[in-house]
Amino acid sequence: MFKTYKNSTKLSDSTMSLAERQASQRELERLKKMIIAGSDVAQELALVIEQLRRSASNAENQKVFATIDENFSWLHDFLGQGIGLTVGKYDILAGNAQAGIAYIESIADKQLISSYVIEPLLTKKVDSNIRLDNLLNFIQLESIYIHTTSNYIMTKIVESLLNGDAVLFINGLQEALVIGSRKIEKRSIEKPDNEGTVLASLESFTDDLETNCSMVIKRLPITTLCFEAFTQGELSRTKLKLVWLEGIANEKVIEEVERRIKKINVDNLDGVGNLAELIEDKPLSIFPKYRQTQRPDVVAKALTEGHFAVLCNNSPFAFFAPITLWDNFKTMDDYAERVTSSSYLRLVRYVAFAIAVLVSPVYLSFVTYNHIVVPQSLAVNISTGREGVPFPSGIELVMMTLAISIIREASLRIPGSVGYFIGTLAAVVIGQAAVTAGYVSTSIIIVVAVSEISSFAISTTTLVYTTRLINYFFITLASVLGMFGLINGMIIVMWYVVSLESFGVPYLYPLIPFDLEGMKDTFVRLAVLKKRLRLLAPFNRYRIGPEGNSGKRE
């Protein structure tokens, strides 16, 4: 750099006039001064940063003060006034000591603090000769009968306050008692709205992690049910639990999931969907490689089959993996109904999936390229319906499919009964008006409606959106190249699906790779499986079988 500068100066010497040279010298001087001034500013900034760092580290290691007032004042400074910190000083244990209680009003249980902390402390008597350092022990053992821990680092105490705990300071003691007083606002256990069943359980997960865990434990009250807790999210500090059945789930998969969860480094983790996206293999894939569910019975069943599940605080859903494509077509009703009925219903779901994906592109390819397939009477009806429609069939189909998706999204967002009203208005009235006005043909409305309704017969919501995306892809190919394009699209989708894996399990398993035992509960449900799937639970495959064999490791 320096050499270049020197060379350029020499060159300028030969070309510049004297006045220009002086001007450039002045400019150079000015730049030098600015650089010197800049380095001074940088030094000052470094000093300020160092001071800030020290003060931050001091705050991190700040111990509990000896006086209650100092503690209260520090907490007020640290948390600010707006958070709702409530403090109070009391002469406790018949006037033998002075205590201060602090808690955040919105998240702590005031009734509990008043009845089970302050009242016993005020009424309880203590030997006046008790030493100050034994006082906290006495209070823990004799006065307060709820969960308490002692702590002497102020930042830790602040964390506890933010979790809803109350903190008890004693004048003269540089240690505080953290009292579990979190006010838990819980939704009651409700019916699973998104996964309705007729004969199966009517419980669904809530937003509370512990309640959700209790629902799983209720269904699998065994010692091999394992939970591993994690806290992730720099800002959200979201609690989550990895659940699996020891001896059944593939331990390598569990280790890998643990590793991936520990590796997560995000500021906000707001639910299981977000979490699953962070730990799955190909997050951009259009096919779901995990299944979200709000049903504890589904999770319990999945665990017994060798899957793992993850429960997350503030999320009424759990997800389980590894899954295959076929898991998206199973419901708990399949196992509550008779074998024949459940097999029939499952086949209906597969047919619905095929219709959702294929009916509109097949219609398009038949009416635009391969007319021979369409019977004469039907062809006449279709062409009569299309009379006066200004758009080609392909454009018409894309427009209507998009319109239906918009109506569905809009009716989901519009609150309550208005949503149903708007949905009906849009679908029936506008649809009818569009046909009458000649903007779209009747047959297109029928095809799009059948496709859209069929997509909702699939058991998981995530796959519903997948069907819509594939549908658009197929419509595009069919409109450009007819049946040839559509078949190419099908081949590409099939190739894509077979190359997918969910935590090491091929996505089309047990069809590909083929596993006869697994096929008994894939397209139809023939019987209760005697063995678990080879790739899901490789070391413990017997579910039922010869006496004494059940549950044994192979």
DSSP line for 4-57: HHHHHHHHHHHHS-HHHHHHHHHHHHHHHHHHHHHHHHHHHHHHHHHHHHHHHH
| Cα radius of gyration (the chain) | 34
State the number of CA atoms in the 13 A half-sphere of 394 facing the CB.
Answer: 15
Tell me which of 318, 358, 508, 535 binds another protein, using CB under 8 A: 508
Closest contact distance (angstroms) between CB of 469 and another protein is: 18
Q: Are strands 166-170 and 238-245 parallel, antiparallel or unpaired?
A: unpaired
Pair of tokens at residue 463: 């796959």
Stretch that binds another protein, among 207-215, 251-259, 412-420, 485-493 (CB under 8 A): 485-493
Cβ-based neighbour number of residue 85 at 10 Å: 18
Given the complex with another protein, which of 52 and 492 has the nearer CB atom?
Answer: 492
492 binding another protein? (CB under 8 A): yes
Binding to another protein by residue 494, rule CB under 8 A?
yes
Report the relative pairing of strands 176-179 and 148-151 from DSSP bridges: antiparallel
Please choose, out of 101-109, 209-217, 337-345, 491-499, the segment that lies near another protein by the rule CB under 8 A: 491-499
Quote the least distance from Cβ 491 to another protein, whole Å.
6
The candidate with the shortest Cα–Cα distance to 120, out of 53, 177, 68, 159, is: 177
Judged by CB under 8 A, the residue of 495, 527, 547, 548 near another protein is 495
Per-residue contact string for residues 341-370; x = within reach of another protein by CB under 8 A? -------------------------x--xx
Instruction: Write down the least CB distance from residue 488 to another protein, Å.
Output: 5
Cβ of residue 508: shortest distance to another protein, in angstroms? 7
Exactly one of 39, 231, 488, 550 binds another protein (CB under 8 A); which one?
488
- Binding to another protein (CB under 8 A) within 367-426 occurs at 369-370, 372-377
DSSP string covering 349-365: HHHHHHHHHHHHHHHHH
Stretch that binds another protein, among 195-203, 393-401, 480-488, 517-525 (CB under 8 A): 480-488
Kindly state the tokens that stand for 214. 């209790």
Question: CA nearest 100: which of 162, 173, 181, 152?
Answer: 173
Q: Judged by CB under 8 A, which stretch of 86-94, 230-238, 294-302, 484-492 contacts another protein?
A: 484-492
Number of residues binding to another protein, judged by CB under 8 A: 28
- Report the residue number, 258 or 515, with the smaller CB distance to another protein: 515
CA-based angle 208:212:217, to the nearest 5?
Answer: 145
Tell me which of 88, 172, 438, 513 binds another protein, using CB under 8 A: 513
The answer to whether residue 504 forms part of the interface with another protein (CB under 8 A) is no
Among residues 362, 371, 351, 370, the alpha carbon closest in space to that of 475 is found at 362
Q: Which residues are at the interface with another protein (CB under 8 A)? A: 366, 369-370, 372-377, 481-485, 487-488, 491-492, 494-495, 498-499, 506, 508, 511-514
